[in-house]
Amino acid sequence: MPPVTDTQVTDPAPSRSRRSRFAGAALLGPAFVAAIAYVDPGNVAANVTAGARYGFLLVWVLVVACAMAVVIQYQSAKLGIVTGKTFPGLLGERLPRRRRLAFWVQAEVVAAATDIAEVVGGAIALQLLFDLPLVVGGLIVGVISLALLGFQSRQRQRAFESVIAALLLVIVVGFLAGLVVGPPSAGDVLGGLVPRLQGTDTVLLAASMLGATVMPHAIYLHSSLVIDRHGVARDDARRRRLVRATRWDVVCALMIAGAVNIALLLLAAQNLQGRDGTDTIEGAQRAVGDAMGPVMAIVFAVGLLASGLASTSVGCYAGASIMAGLLKVRVPVWIRRLVTLVPALIVLGSGVDPTWALVISQVVLSFGIPFAIIPLGRLTRDPSVMGSFADSGALRLAATAIAAVVVLLNVALIVLTVTGLG
C-alpha cells in the first residue's frame, strides 16, 4: 500500500473549510434588505446638501452614523434569531392594550413618513429622467414597488433579497460612479474625519444626517427578515451559528450603505460646493451634469430611482411586520401598498416642493427613533428574553451611548427645524 503523503492528509480540512465558508455565505442576505433604508432618497437629500454647503466638513458624521447603525441593526437581528419572535411581536406581548395601540399609531405614522419620502424620491427621479409629472411618477413607483413585493414571502424570501440586492448594486454604481470620474483628494477626505461643526446650520445638518441614517422601520423590520429567511432556530448551536453569520451580514451590508452615503457627500463636496441651486435634488442633479457631463447626471438619476423603488418596497414590508406584531393583524402587503401610496400622491399633487417634503419626512421620522431604540436595548440586554445571548457589558454600554446621542440629536433636529420654519 503506498504511503500517505502530507497532501493527502491535509486535503479534507481545506475542503471542509471551503464548505463551511460557502455555508456561511449562504446565510447572508437579510441585512442587505435592511440596508436599503440607509440609502433612501431622504439620505440623498441630506448628504448632497451637506457636501454642497460645507464641503468635507461633515464626513465624520456619516462614519459615526454607520457605526451606530451596525450596533442597532445587529441587536434587532439577534433578537429575532434568539427568540424566534419579531421585535414588534415581543413589544405587542408586553404592552397593555391601550399603550399597544398608541405605540402602533406612532410606528405607522413613522412608516407612512418613510413611504412618502421614498415615493417622492422615485417620482423626482422619473421626472429627471423622462420629464414625467410628479404624480404620474409616483403612480409608476407605486406599481413597480407592488410588483417587487410580489417576491416577498417566506417561500420566496431569497428571491426578494436577490431583487433588492440587485437594486442596491444599481444604487452603488449610480452614486459612486461620480467619484471615479472626479475623485477627491485623500487629504480633503481625511480632514473631514476630524469631528467639528461650524454654526447652527451644521448642527441641523449633522442631526438630520444621523436622524435619517438610524431608521425606525429598519429596526422593527430586521428581526422579521431573519425569521422569514432562516425560520425559527430550535437549539443554541444553530442560534450561535446564525448570530455569527448575522454579525458579518450586518457589517458587510451597512459598510456598503455607509460607503454610498459618504460617496454622495464627497461627490457634492468635490463638484457642487459653492454652486447655486444645489439645496434641492433637482438642482444637485443639474449641477452634476454641468460639472461632470450629462452621462453622470443620468447615472445619478438612475441611482435615485433605484433608491426610491427599493426603499419603498422595504418600507411597505416593514409596515406589514409592525402591524402583524403589535396588533396581530395581517394585511396583505399589496393592500398596504395601495393605502400608503395615497398620502405620497397627495403630497406630490399638492404643489409642495418635493425636496422640502423629504426634509419634513425626516423630522417626522425623528419622533419615532426613541420608541424603537430604547425598547430594543431593554429587550436584548434582558437574560429572561435572550438567555445566554443577552448583550455583553460592552454592547450594553455602546447601545446606551448610541440611544442617548441619537435621541439628543433628534431633539436638536426637531427644535432647530421648527425654529427655522417659524
Distance (Å, whole) CA 380 – CA 203: 31
What element of type H or E holds 413? helix 393-421
CB 120 within 8 A of CB 137: no
pLDDT of 67-98, one tens digit each?
Answer: 999 999 999 999 999 999 999 999 999 999 89
Residues contacting residue 282 through CB under 8 Å, at least 6 positions apart: 124, 127, 128, 355
Instruction: Give residue 413's pLDDT band: very low, low, confident or very high (50, 70, 90).
Output: low
Least Cα distance to 217 among 338, 299, 345, 117 occurs for: 117
Distance (Å, whole) CA 92 – CA 274: 50
Instruction: Give residue 417's pLDDT band: very low, low, confident or very high (50, 70, 90).
Output: low
Q: Is the pLDDT confidence value at 250 over 60?
A: yes
Percent of the chain with pLDDT over 90: 40
Grid coordinates given for 364? 417626522
Least Cα distance to 236 among 25, 24, 82 occurs for: 82
Distance (Å, whole) CA 297 – CA 284: 9
Phi, psi of 190 (to 5 degrees): -60, -35
Picking from 85-94, 180-189, 240-249, which range would have the lowest pLDDT averaged per residue?
180-189
Grid coordinates given for 38? 440607509
Distance (Å, whole) CA 159 – CA 138: 25
pLDDT of 140-149, one tens digit each?
Answer: 999 998 888 7
Q: What is the DSSP string of 72-120?
A: HHHHHHHHHHHHSS-HHHHHHHHS-HHHHHHHHHHHHHHHHHHHHHHHH
Grid coordinates given for 97? 392594550
pTM of the model: 0.87
